[in-house]
Amino acid sequence: MTKIVLVYIPCKSVEQAETIGKHLLKKRLCACINVYPEMHSSYFWPPKSDSFEEAHEAVLIAKTKKDLLPNLEKEVYSVHTYACPCIMAIPTEYINKQYKDWLLGELE
């Protein structure tokens, strides 16, 4: 059975999220993207410090097959501007057949 995942990728801006998403689409590494334009993030930076960094980001969600993740990750690293981008695959429990068939058809 083909595993479908949602890949969560925070980006510095809507423009960057759209650029990365379209790059992944053109390479057929995902079938669909969603861009959420506004997210507020807080995290420790630099690593292992007690300093909080805060940022306004956009979120890119790419819908793809699990077996495409290594290539998708490689491509995200090639275009993302963050030194340590988050590329997190979220497994899906259920997808309606019509949508799943369409998604898999786009990735063949």
Q: What is the pLDDT of residues 40-86, one digit of tens each?
A: 999 998 888 899 999 999 999 999 999 999 999 999 999 999 999 99
d(CA 95, CA 39): 26
CATH architecture of the domain covering 4-106: 2-Layer Sandwich (3.30)
Residue 59: partners with Cβ closer than 8 Å, 6 or more residues away: 8, 9, 10, 11, 17, 35, 36, 39
Structure pTM?
0.93
Residue 25, phi then psi, degrees to nearest 5: -65, -45
Domain assignments of the chain as residue spans, ordered by start:
4-106
**Amino acid (one-letter) located at 24:** L
Q: What is the pLDDT of residue 2?
A: 81
pLDDT above 80 for 1? no
Beta bridge partners of 5: 64, 91
Model confidence band, residue 17 (pLDDT cutoffs 50, 70, 90): very high
Q: What is the pLDDT of residue 16?
A: 98
Q: What is the pLDDT of residue 79?
A: 97
